[in-house]
Structure 1
Amino acid sequence: MYKLFFAVAVLFSTVCSGVFAQDSLIYLQNPSFEDVPQANHLPKGWVNCNGDAALAPDIQPSGDFGVTTPAQHGKTYMAMVVRDNETWEKISQKLSKPLKGGKCYEFKIFLARSEKYIGQSEAKGGQANYGTPAKLRIYGGFSACDRQFLLAETNLIVHFRWLEYNFRFEPTDDYTHITFEAFYKTPNLFPYNGNLLLDNASPITPITEDCEEKPEVAKVEQPKKDSVVNPVVTTPPPAPIQPPVAEAKVVLNPNFSALKTEDLSKGQTFRMSSINFAVNDTIINRASYPQLDDLVKFLTNNPGVLIEIGGHTNGLCEDNFCNRLSQRRAAAVGNYLISKGVVQERLVMKGYGKTQPVSAVKNDPKNQRVDVKILEL
């Protein structure tokens, strides 16, 4: 009788542990992107994040645009492009249950590139091949298409056959939605036409191991022809750049709401080092909101103050790319303040690119920052 009870207990424990393990998984709807092959259409379960339905990704292989790569799993897969007019495609959906902030997860998906993807150039007109490699970015957010936090990012997908990519990521909040985005080589001076193929995504699995590993291709090597068509380019080590700018009248991480007009002087600069963005993008990380809200409170309490919002980048990108990115980031901060009720006329948004470093090392995080300067009292 005791042996029977013990056997039943072991069986119950095994079954329950398997159930609990399954319950811990986070599932995607239609992870293999199965549907009727057609251009400018999304498979069931996915949302178009591109605004215009005519610019939606494609269910392939439909034969449209010359794409004939067979699916890795099932019959169809998702194909997304980046365009030479600086637009790119994104898809999104709600997760079966939220990610947990501070917890480590593992995720896998098969990726490839189509050698041919014939369409129209949005910037120049005429026929173009969208065959240039693109990369995959994965975001967590709180609604469809919300790119709140960059969970993971691949290198450029240069290979033409399907390879499985493994990711480990640690969200900073309890994100309810996931967004997949095709994106350019970064940093990149000019946008270009490229494509990215996605298939057979796994459930998102919580793990207890180290979460610092970078995405890697699993089990298979890239074909030799890809290494010839797309040679690997290594980045040289960081080198010293121009001398850093003087740090006069700079206040680090101020408590804005405690400041009064009599504490200020024209030209005084406040460095908001806790304002962070997604990599090579203008998306403000959610962790930056408290300091921005503190700035809103200060501006509300001091209606006569006019400020400049200065965006600054590190020194790793080309001049034009740095200038454009810093200007867009400054505008993103300004738009956040305006959305909270600050009058636009009190704000000047300016991008300085990499022209005003505070460190002589190109990739020093201190160089990538947002400064607030007092223009008028």
Structure 2
Amino acid sequence: MHYTARFFITVWAFTPIWLRGQETISIPVFNPSFEAVLPYIVNDTADWVDCGFLSEAPLQFQPGVYEVDKEAFEGKNYFSLAVRDNFTWDAVGQRLRAPLKPGRCYRMMIHLAQSPYYTAVSPVFGTRVRYKNPIRLLLWGGKKFCQAGQLLAQTTLVKNKDWEPYELIFTPKVEITHLSFQAYYLNPMVAYNGHLLMDFASPIEVVPCETYPAQSPDVSQIEIKPQSKRDLENFIALYGKTIRFERDQVNLFTGKDASTFEAGAMSESFLSLMGKSIRWLSEYRLEIAVKDKPRRLTNARIAYLKQFFTSNKADSSQLDIYPFEEKRPEKGEDWTSENAFLAIRLRAMR
């Protein structure tokens, strides 16, 4: 799974508003109405950066593409973001003009809608279909373009056909210098074709925490419910291979120092989703075999994963974590996903 970064730049002049001292009370968004411009590759000076999958079409300015003809809420253009039936999605990011501080409460508004018509090719079937299913928008904060660091906020499913403002309230855990908006499914276990339209993002404002309690969603709060064993196995097969540990460390890779929106940066998210989703399939257990040497590191990673799942409220009775060398799959029971760090599969409970 590979991501790319495509850069869009315009000439806008916004200045953050400061309080006495050095605290920013309002951080404007460059090109807040997503006006169409020519693409340039200019590191750290671009307004909006396409954080989508390299295998998919570039992010589209609307109207005029995929049969979308809706009038913009502000200006002439806006973005459309899609999810697809091959487990890929669109995302777009920006470098902030002033950092967001940990512990502060922030508020921003963004206008979202769904088009009555949106047709594109299905990656799975190869034919043109309607991307009519509703999706939601996730807001990520990080320290580089397209970095999935902290999940700051998420919207409900966007079903409205007219433009409506969506309020995002959040509190960073660490200093944030970049934001990313990501299109996402209702249920990450089931891939489908859907879209939303995005226009006019307001400045980011500091607000009183007692008046505006932050949403501060945890990735593990994303609703998950596989419809069948096959759904969960498909999810494991696609995302399990991206899960990895920090080099020579016990903990999972977080991508805090990565320069792109790497799949591996979602290691904690994907593993948490797998651990939580197994509860819907009570007749199965999730087996994880930890690779790598020396054995001391392997054992430490096993202990770490057990604690990780406990903190994410996964059912330990449906989890089996052990060194890779101890058990080999029996005939007909190959690993569903395997990489240099982990091997993962589902097995029937005994």
- Taking structure 2 as the reference length, the TM-score comes to 0.61
Partner of 1:245: none
The answer to whether residue 39 in structure 2 is matched with residue 90 in structure 1 is: no
Alignment of 1:182-261 (within 5 A): 182-186=183-187, 188-210=188-210, 211-212=212-213, 214=215
Question: Cα offset for 1:316?
Answer: 4.5
Residues 326 and 129 of structure 1, relative CA distance in 2, 3 Å threshold:
closer
Question: What amino acid is the match of 2:245?
Answer: Y
Q: 1:373 aligns with which of 314, 322, 332?
A: 322
Aligned partner of residue 97 in structure 2, secondary structure: coil
Residues 315 and 26 of structure 1, relative CA distance in 2, 3 Å threshold:
closer
Q: 1:336 aligns with which of 216, 225, 245?
A: 245
Mapped partners of 2:27, 2:136: distance in 1 = 24
Can you list the C-alpha shifts for 1:55-109, whole angstroms capped at 9, x where unaligned?
2221111x22110110011111111111111110001111111111121111111
Partner of 1:278: 219
Contact 2:80 / 2:198 at 8 angstroms: preserved in 1? yes
Greater gyration radius? 1
Mapped partners of 1:315, 1:167: distance in 2 = 22
Can you list the C-alpha shifts for 1:111-168, whole angstroms capped at 9, x where unaligned?
0011111111111011111122111000001111101111011111011100001111
Partner of 1:347: none
Residues 331 and 338 of structure 1, relative CA distance in 2, 3 Å threshold:
farther
Question: What amino acid is the match of 1:336?
Answer: F
The answer to whether residue 49 in structure 2 is matched with residue 50 in structure 1 is: no
**What is the total number of aligned residue pairs between the two structures?**
247
Question: What amino acid is the match of 1:113?
Answer: Q
Partner of 1:318: 227
Partner of 2:341: none
Partner of 1:64: 65
Question: Cα offset for 1:208?
Answer: 1.7
Question: Cα offset for 1:27?
Answer: 2.2
Mapped partners of 1:28, 1:315: distance in 2 = 32
Residues 79 and 37 of structure 1, relative CA distance in 2, 3 Å threshold:
farther
Contact 1:140 / 1:146 at 8 angstroms: preserved in 2? yes
- Aligned-pair identity in percent equals 29
Residues 51 and 127 of structure 1, relative CA distance in 2, 3 Å threshold:
closer
Question: Cα offset for 1:31?
Answer: 1.0
Aligned partner of residue 98 in structure 2, secondary structure: coil
Residues 279 and 37 of structure 1, relative CA distance in 2, 3 Å threshold:
farther
Mapped partners of 2:69, 2:136: distance in 1 = 20
Mapped partners of 2:61, 2:175: distance in 1 = 30
Mapped partners of 1:332, 1:52: distance in 2 = 16
Mapped partners of 2:99, 2:118: distance in 1 = 35
- Taking structure 1 as the reference length, the TM-score comes to 0.57
Question: Cα offset for 1:24?
Answer: 2.2
Question: What amino acid is the match of 2:313?
Answer: K
Contact 1:113 / 1:161 at 8 angstroms: preserved in 2? yes
Mapped partners of 1:86, 1:176: distance in 2 = 28
Mapped partners of 1:207, 1:121: distance in 2 = 42
Report which of the two has the higher share of strand. Answer: 2
Question: Cα offset for 1:25?
Answer: 1.3
The answer to whether residue 184 in structure 2 is matched with residue 173 in structure 1 is: no
Contact 2:50 / 2:92 at 8 angstroms: preserved in 1? yes
Contact 1:57 / 1:81 at 8 angstroms: preserved in 2? no
Contact 1:37 / 1:60 at 8 angstroms: preserved in 2? no
Contact 1:140 / 1:175 at 8 angstroms: preserved in 2? yes
Mapped partners of 2:191, 2:34: distance in 1 = 27
The answer to whether residue 22 in structure 2 is matched with residue 20 in structure 1 is: no
Mapped partners of 2:138, 2:322: distance in 1 = 34
